[in-house]
Amino acid sequence: MIQTVKGTRDLLPDVMPLWLRVETVAREAFRRYGFKEIRTPILEQTELFARGVGEATDIVHKEMYAFTDRNGDQLCLRPENTASVVRAYNQHKLYNDKTAGENTKLYYIGPMFRRERQQAGRYRQFYQIGAEVMGASDDPAIEAEVIEMLDWMLKELGINDTTLLINSVGDAALRGAYLETLRALLAPQLDKMCSDCHHRYETNALRVFDCKIESCQTVIATLPTITDSLDEASRTHFEQFKAHLDARGIAYRVNPRMVRGLDYYTRTAFEIVGASGLGAQNTVVGGGRYDGLSELIGGVPTKGFGFAFGLDRMVMALPDAEAERLRASDAPDVFIVFLGDAARQHSFRLAQQLRRAGLSVVLDFDERKMKKAMAQANKVQARYALIVGDNEIAQGTYGLKNLATSEQEMLGVEAITQRISESAKP
């Protein structure tokens, strides 16, 4: 049997209510905070990420599904979507859209591709929900507002055990001087470091902070952090950002060694980590400011701030009780049990009426004995069984049995619809 490609997976119906719940809550958050949806292609030019995310990053250097197309074009499956959104913003001159107001707020939901080592919570095709504020001002108030929106989403999903980690990685000008210092400190220690770190040293020394190898970590622990060397403007920005979080009652921890795995960040960077239910891959959200990314890919000077969360991981982080409730909510409202030929015919019309009234109705085409049919209703986890026989047809009322309580009453179509709609779903 041909199977799924390594690192990809089928999302089967039993998990879909969980995925849809996260998507629904996210869309609601985006509506409340004024974000509009954008869908960009999965297929992009490799150069977009090479320039945007950075040649030296693991994502571009090691993990991208890049290939030469039949006509020689260098294409890839997008490994992330920030560079794509910034491309679209420029390509369609969204900055001219006056209805967008002070800045353009966009959100997206879709698959991303990275050829990473497969483990729980890490896939080669994974899904992100993300948001980008394009044309953001310098004011860190927008950063705090976006994080407040994430905070609301997490609470709404019942995920209460995460930690917000923040840092400032300074701006591009500062980066140059800091990289010089890093390289000078790394040079005499390179023989203790892995081959990836050698590559990082050559291309972008900041990326050594991404290394997970223990011998490299020992060296990394001795390095000054970029946060220690912030310029005055970035330092002030960071202090204001923290004050905005405090004012919104959002708790955080500063992690000066968090530099994020993408090159485009300037100043504020953040992650949300640690929900139980996740294993080693416990970073749920990553984001930050990326002033200058637009220019890097040939666009107009634009400031930006955004985040993306892993939908796969957010689903894993849902509390067990919530996941249970969501799975149950997918069960049909009614299973129709019919007795006899006339009742069978009648049930088709009845099902049509109830479905048009908004109920989810299941009925089998094979006739079964009462006991077998009731067992079937329980098997499909229907909330109610509706019993239809000759007498019921004659009277125009049917036996509605609540399968959780076993209570049964005789009701007409309208009353059935009302009763079922009233009784809240589990």
Task: State which residue, 107 or 178, has the beta carbon closest to ligand HAM.
Answer: 107
266 lies in the binding site for ligand HAM (CB under 6 A):
no
Residue found by looking up tokens 């490994």 in the block: 79
Q: Angle formed by the axes of helices 232-247 and 141-156, to 10°?
A: 40
**β strands within 219-323, DSSP E:** 253-254, 268-273, 283-289, 304-310
**Stretch binding ligand HAM (CB under 6 A), from 169-177, 186-194, 287-295, 342-350:** 287-295
Within 75-94, the residues that bind ligand HAM by CB under 6 A are 80, 82
Residue 116 beta carbon to ligand HAM: minimum distance, rounded to whole angstroms:
5
> Are 338 and 388 in contact, with CB atoms under 8 Å apart?
yes
**Stretch binding ligand HAM (CB under 6 A), from 98-106, 208-216, 302-310, 362-370:** 302-310
The DSSP H or E segment spanning 372 is helix 370-379
Q: What is the SS3 assignment for 36? A: strand
| Strand pairing report for 163-168 and 253-254 | parallel
Task: State which residue, 285 or 318, has the beta carbon closest to ligand HAM.
Answer: 285
Q: How far apart are CA 20 and CA 326, in angstroms?
A: 10
309 lies in the binding site for ligand HAM (CB under 6 A):
yes
Residue 363 beta carbon to ligand HAM: minimum distance, rounded to whole angstroms:
40
Residue 29 beta carbon to ligand HAM: minimum distance, rounded to whole angstroms:
15
Residues 6+ positions from 407 with CB-CB distance below 8 Å = 401
Position among 17, 23, 40, 116 found at the interface with ligand HAM (CB under 6 A): 116
> Are 268 and 241 in contact, with CB atoms under 8 Å apart?
yes
Task: State which residue, 127 or 201, has the beta carbon closest to ligand HAM.
Answer: 127
Per rule CB under 6 A, count of chain residues that contact ligand HAM:
26
Structure tokens at 145: 């507002």
135 lies in the binding site for ligand HAM (CB under 6 A):
no
Q: What is the dihedral of CA 254, 142, 84, 275, to 10 degrees?
A: 40
Angle at 346 between CA 344 and CA 349, to 5 degrees: 115
Position among 21, 87, 313, 383 found at the interface with ligand HAM (CB under 6 A): 313
**Stretch binding ligand HAM (CB under 6 A), from 23-31, 122-130, 227-235, 410-418:** 122-130
261 lies in the binding site for ligand HAM (CB under 6 A):
yes
Task: State which residue, 288 or 392, has the beta carbon closest to ligand HAM.
Answer: 288
Q: What is the SS3 assignment for 248? A: coil
Position among 310, 363, 382, 392 found at the interface with ligand HAM (CB under 6 A): 310
Closest CA to 15 of 366, 316, 299, 338: 316
Residue found by looking up tokens 């948001």 in the block: 131
Task: State which residue, 309 or 384, has the beta carbon closest to ligand HAM.
Answer: 309
**Stretch binding ligand HAM (CB under 6 A), from 18-26, 144-152, 161-169, 284-292:** 284-292
Phi, psi dihedral angles at 188 (to 5 degrees): -75, -10
The DSSP H or E segment spanning 323 is helix 320-328
Task: State which residue, 162 or 225, has the beta carbon closest to ligand HAM.
Answer: 162
List of long-range contacts for 54-57, beta carbons under 8 Å, 24+ apart:
54/204, 54/262, 54/263, 54/264, 55/203, 56/199, 56/200, 56/203, 56/204, 56/207, 56/263, 57/204, 57/207, 57/210, 57/261, 57/262, 57/263
133 lies in the binding site for ligand HAM (CB under 6 A):
no
Within 8-37, the residues that bind ligand HAM by CB under 6 A are none
**Stretch binding ligand HAM (CB under 6 A), from 207-215, 221-229, 285-293, 364-372:** 285-293
Task: State which residue, 165 or 350, has the beta carbon closest to ligand HAM.
Answer: 165
Task: State which residue, 279 or 412, has the beta carbon closest to ligand HAM.
Answer: 279
**Stretch binding ligand HAM (CB under 6 A), from 279-287, 332-340, 366-374, 382-390:** 279-287
Position among 148, 151, 291, 312 found at the interface with ligand HAM (CB under 6 A): 312
Could you list the residues that contact ligand HAM (CB under 6 A)? Answer: 80, 82, 114, 116, 122-123, 126, 128, 130, 132, 261-262, 283-288, 290, 306-310, 312-313
